[in-house]
């Protein structure tokens, strides 16, 4: 038998270990279902502690999958959270009986993080009240199961607004603080998780703890952007601001790299209040810029608009006309662009949300458009977050992957302002470890358009995007779409093991959100 050559000084690798696969280490990302050992005793203990638990297929079936729609799993029972005390009783009992607990807010995860493979599913949407609004200090205290959209509704009545939140209707405050959350103003105001001032957290052992940058700071650092590993957020105090309508401007590019360079130029110079890139494939790249005040808008027009290399709508239409006239074989692509433009653009200019040329209630306008034109039964949105200098390369490589896997897709890019004093929060999170000033994120969103793709196809696509992240030393943001198989490769064993040790200390039976990252 031939003995495979081994380079001097190296130990021969195990040829069938997960790391034998070139490109990326894999590990089990579809966990085995919990075997239900001791379930009945646990249920009895839980009921005697006064916690209401629902069993049965009808109750559990509602939670069988998440927004990603590719992971399927059913809990043994469901608890709908009503108070921190109830959550604490649940976690104490679960810890004692070693029953896994999976926490779910809006269920907007894409890799099955909010899907319970047996055990208890804790539905946080039962805790969805606004507790106090302080208009003078510009803070709000909320229960963590509230959707950002519902929070916005309450704040509007006081002429207030949240700082930044994901552009969809059903992500919850607690879930977002655990993974990141971006908005078109993140380049100025940071990610949603950065707006939390303090939290009420139920630890995995069932203690109710208030934490902030000054009080129980270590727990605060771990829970923020912590993928739900170190506690269940039950209440949060968030920074808020005065409500303002927006004036929007759009600039069109045919090159991703040029649009990204212009976006980064605007962010570096604080030239706009909102900025982002939304594309139709890589053919029509739209740089979106918006302002809270006329003064900021006037300053932008005076100092920065001329430096942008994008076209207006009419100019871009002419360019495209010329481009496709010379390439008649791409007529299908041109027709798709036209169709898409006609469908999507009016959504951002609906008369009921426009007054005096300004957009009112961007949460509704954007969220509605996102669900209507990008939503589907499978939310497949792998993403990459990189330092500014590697962002163009990441987007261009991701774009090539999208082209390979799907006929039509959208890219959505924004900057995320980092807060130097929050560096401990960012450890092992969506923020790339070497990002300075801003991190940049891009979501790669295939248009499913009624097609049914297999889970394997989606998974292969997501892996191809995530592999780029590993290759470029990036991270992954917004949905916590960081598969368990990637975390060690991205952050290295030393850091992951340190967090794992902390997790084991905080959660001895490893019951809380098992298999999400550890």
Q: Which of residues 56-75 bind another protein (CB under 8 A)?
A: 57, 60-61, 64-65, 71-75
Q: How far is the CB of 66 from another protein (least distance, A)?
A: 13
**Residue 32 binds to another protein (criterion: CB under 8 A):** yes
**CA nearest neighbour of 215 among 225, 203, 200:** 200
Binding mask 448-487 for another protein (x = CB under 8 A): ----xxxxxx-x---x---------------------x--
Two tokens at 294? Answer: 């006329």
Is the Cα dihedral 325, 330, 336, 341 positive or negative?
Answer: negative
Distance CA 428, CA 174 (A): 18
Starting at the edge strand found earlier in the chain, the sheet holding 77-80 runs: 54-55, 77-80, 120-123, 101-104
Residues 6+ apart with CB under 8 A from 219: 201, 203, 209, 211, 230, 231
Interacting stretch for another protein, rule CB under 8 A, among 32-40, 88-96, 229-237, 250-258? Answer: 32-40
Q: In terms of CB distance, is 60 or 465 closer to another protein?
A: 60
DSSP 333: H
The string of DSSP codes covering 69-94 is -------SEEEE---HHHHHHHHHHH
Binding mask 198-237 for another protein (x = CB under 8 A): ----------------------------------------
- β-sheet bridge partners, residue 120: 77, 101
Interacting stretch for another protein, rule CB under 8 A, among 8-16, 46-54, 249-257, 333-341? Answer: 8-16
Q: How far is the CB of 221 from another protein (least distance, A)?
A: 31
Q: Which of residues 117-156 bind another protein (CB under 8 A)?
A: 117-118
Distances (CA, A) of 454 to 26, 401, 473: 20, 17, 29
Binding mask 12-31 for another protein (x = CB under 8 A): --xxxxx-xxxx--xxxxx-
**Residue 332 binds to another protein (criterion: CB under 8 A):** no
**CA nearest neighbour of 293 among 247, 248, 362:** 247
Q: In terms of CB distance, is 128 or 463 closer to another protein?
A: 463
Q: What is the number of other CB atoms lying within 10 angstroms of the CB of residue 102?
A: 27
**Residue 269 binds to another protein (criterion: CB under 8 A):** no
Q: How far is the CB of 431 from another protein (least distance, A)?
A: 26
Q: How far is the CB of 516 from another protein (least distance, A)?
A: 15
Two tokens at 195? Answer: 């707006």
Q: In terms of CB distance, is 2 or 342 closer to another protein?
A: 2
List residues near another protein by CB under 8 A: 1-2, 4, 14-18, 20-23, 26-30, 32-33, 35, 57, 60-61, 64-65, 71-75, 117-118, 452-457, 459, 463, 485
């Amino acid at each position: 038998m031939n003995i495979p050559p081994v380079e001097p000084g190296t130990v021969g690798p195990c040829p069938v270990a997960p790391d034998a696969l070139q490109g990326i280490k894999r590990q089990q990302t579809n966990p085995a279902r919990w075997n239900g050992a001791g379930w009945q005793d646990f249920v009895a203990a839980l009921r005697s502690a006064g916690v209401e638990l629902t069993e049965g297929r009808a109750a559990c079936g509602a939670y069988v999958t998440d927004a990603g729609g590719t992971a399927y799993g059913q809990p043994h029972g469901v608890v709908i959270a009503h108070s921190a005390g109830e959550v604490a009783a649940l976690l104490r009992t679960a810890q004692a009986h070693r029953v896994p607990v999976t926490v779910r807010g809006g269920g907007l995860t894409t890799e099955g993080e909010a899907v319970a493979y047996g055990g208890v599913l804790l539905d946080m949407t039962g805790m969805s009240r606004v507790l106090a609004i302080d208009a003078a200090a510009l803070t709000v205290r909320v229960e963590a199961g509230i959707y950002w959209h519902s929070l916005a509704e309450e704040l509007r009545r006081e002429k207030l607004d949240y700082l930044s939140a994901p552009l969809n209707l059903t992500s919850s405050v607690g879930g977002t603080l655990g993974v990141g959350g971006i908005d078109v103003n993140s380049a100025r105001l940071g990610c949603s998780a950065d707006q939390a001032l303090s939290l009420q957290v139920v630890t995995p052992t069932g203690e109710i703890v208030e934490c902030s940058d000054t009080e129980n700071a270590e727990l605060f650092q771990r829970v923020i952007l912590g993928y739900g590993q170190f506690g269940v957020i039950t209440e949060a105090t968030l920074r808020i601001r005065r409500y303002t309508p927006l004036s929007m401007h759009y600039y069109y590019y045919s090159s991703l790299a040029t649009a990204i360079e212009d976006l980064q130029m605007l962010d570096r110079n604080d030239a706009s209040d909102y900025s982002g890139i939304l594309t139709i494939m890589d053919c029509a790249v739209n740089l979106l810029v918006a302002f809270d005040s006329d003064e900021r808008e006037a300053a932008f027009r005076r100092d920065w608009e001329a430096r942008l290399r994008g076209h207006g709508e009419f100019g871009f239409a002419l360019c495209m006309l010329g481009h496709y006239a010379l390439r008649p074989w791409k007529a299908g692509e041109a027709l798709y662009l036209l169709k898409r433009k006609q469908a999507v653009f009016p959504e951002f200019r609906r008369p009921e949300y426009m007054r005096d040329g300004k957009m009112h209630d961007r949460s509704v306008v954007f969220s509605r458009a996102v669900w209507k034109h990008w939503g589907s039964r499978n939310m497949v949105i792998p993403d990459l977050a990189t330092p500014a200098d590697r962002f163009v390369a990441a987007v261009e490589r991701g774009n090539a992957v999208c082209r390979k896997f799907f006929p039509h897709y959208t890219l959505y890019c924004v900057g995320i302002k980092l807060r130097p004093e929050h560096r401990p929060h960012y450890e092992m999170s969506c923020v790339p470890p070497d990002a300075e000033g801003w991190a940049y994120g891009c979501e790669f969103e295939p248009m499913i358009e009624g097609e049914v793709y297999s889970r394997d196809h989606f998974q292969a696509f997501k892996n191809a995007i995530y592999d780029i992240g590993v290759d470029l030393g990036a991270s992954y943001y917004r949905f916590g779409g960081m598969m368990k198989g990637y975390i060690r490769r991205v952050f290295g064993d030393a850091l992951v093991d340190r967090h794992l040790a902390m997790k084991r200390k905080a959660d001895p039976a490893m019951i809380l959100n098992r298999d999400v990252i550890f």
